[in-house]
Structure formats: C-alpha cells, structure tokens
Amino acid sequence: MFHVHSPRVPATIAAVAALAALAAGCSNGGTAAHTTGASKAATTQSGPVYTAAQLRNALLTTLNGVKPAVPIESGLYGELPGVKATRASLKGVKITPAKCATASSTGLASPKFDQVPATVTTFRDGSDGVSEVLLSPPAALMDSALTHAIPAGCAEYHAKVGSHTYTYRVKQEAAPSLGRDASELNVRASGSDSANIWTVIYRTTGMVGAVTLVGSKASKADADTLAEIAYQHAEKMLA
C-alpha cells in the first residue's frame, strides 16, 4: 500500500513549504466554498469541462484509510479559503534574490486560474501533508498549468520567515506518464529544520490535476505513486 512518510515539522517550515504547496492548492482549513459560481464559469469554457461539484466527486476520499484533515473546498480556485490563506502567508516571506520569488511555484500560481472551477482536499499529520487539487480550465490555459521556468541563478536561493532563514533548492524532475502531459517540481528547504516538497501536475482533455507531498522524508517515489493513484481515480470518476 502507498505510504506517506509524515514526521512532524515546525510551523516555520510549513510556512516556507507553502511557497511550493500553493501550486497544488494546499489548504490551511476553513469552510468549503459554494460551487454555484464555479458552475457558471464552466459554461464559458470550450471543449470538455467539469463543474467544481463534479471535480469534488473525483478527489481521493481516503489516504491509507485516513479521511481528509479539513473540509474539502470547492468553487472558483482563487476564492478557495485555503488558497487565500496560503497566499496571505507568503506576504511574510522574504526571498533573496528577489527575482527568485517565483522559482518554486508552478503555472497554477498564475491569477489566470483564479476564476476556474476547482476543488481541493488535504490529508495531514502534524505540519506535514498531502494535497490534491483538480481544476477544469478553458482549453487555452491547459498547457500553461504545466509550464514552469526556474529563473537563471535561482536553482538555489534563500527564504526568511520571521527569524528563520532557509536555503531553497529547486529542481525540475522527470514526471510520471499521466494523462496527455505531466510535469514535476522538487523543492528542498533546509535551515534550522527541513522540508522536502514534491509537486506533480498533469493534464487531460478537460482537467488539470496536481498533487503535492510535503514532508522531511518525502520522496519522488512516494509523490509519483500518489499522483498515479489520484489520476487513475479521477479519470474513473469523471468517465
């Protein structure tokens, strides 16, 4: 059975990890958003589309027999409580060099996805966790969801959260073969504590899915296995 390593990590690491976790909609809790607006937005898209309610039904329901740690969020991506909370937490993070602020985020961090129907679930143990987000963007945005360019000189940089400073190392990895295309990003934050963040993003004809695994002992093998499980489940439920 797929196993997620989940030792506890201090809150400062969780804040630093949010820089990468934002790409996959890692939730900080809150109540679920309404799906009415998402359904309306979906009608303007071209090609196969799904409402936030349909996407919600395609999320993983358990992980290793454990239910989601917080209520599932569904609605417009930019209006999800978890996405808002994560973005707010980034305001207290100082990046050096400043040009590296986007190095650990993916295409999903773009405000272009804010009005896209989406749903997010989070499985958590302590400050570690796994998040899955499903979105149904218009066809024109599909490819940009997987696009990521690490700025020159930003494969390694620094992030300061309060009195804690961390070294970030960012690397694009070979993604598993999922859907029509997939990409994978690994971010390692080290300092007084450490975190290892793996994000796998894939696209199908009418959906983008992203899985983020955060934990000091998280591995590519675990992230790839989880992404495969999430992808197969979503495809089955949306067929």
At 119, the pLDDT band (50, 70, 90 cuts) reads very high
Q: Which CATH architecture has domain 11-238?
A: 3-Layer(aba) Sandwich (3.40)
pLDDT at 22 over 70: no
Tens digits of per-residue pLDDT, 165-223?
Answer: 889 899 999 999 999 999 999 998 887 677 888 999 999 989 999 998 888 888 999 99
Tens digits of per-residue pLDDT, 23-79?
Answer: 433 433 333 333 333 433 443 445 448 999 999 999 999 988 889 988 999 999 999
3-state secondary structure 141-194: HHHHHHCCCCCCCCCEEEEEECCEEEEEEEEEECCCCCCCEEEEEEEEEECCCE
| Percent of the chain predicted with pLDDT > 70 | 78
Q: What is the mean pLDDT of residues 228-232?
A: 96
Domain ranges of the chain: 11-238
Determine how many CB atoms are found less than 10 A away from the CB of residue 214: 30
Instruction: Write down the pLDDT at residue 36.
Output: 34
3-state secondary structure 43-62: CCCCCCCCCHHHHHCCCCCC
Q: Structure tokens of 41?
A: 């937005």
Instruction: Write down the pLDDT at residue 173.
Output: 94
Distances (CA, A) of 202 to 3, 73, 220, 222, 229: 21, 20, 15, 16, 12
Average pLDDT, the chain: 79
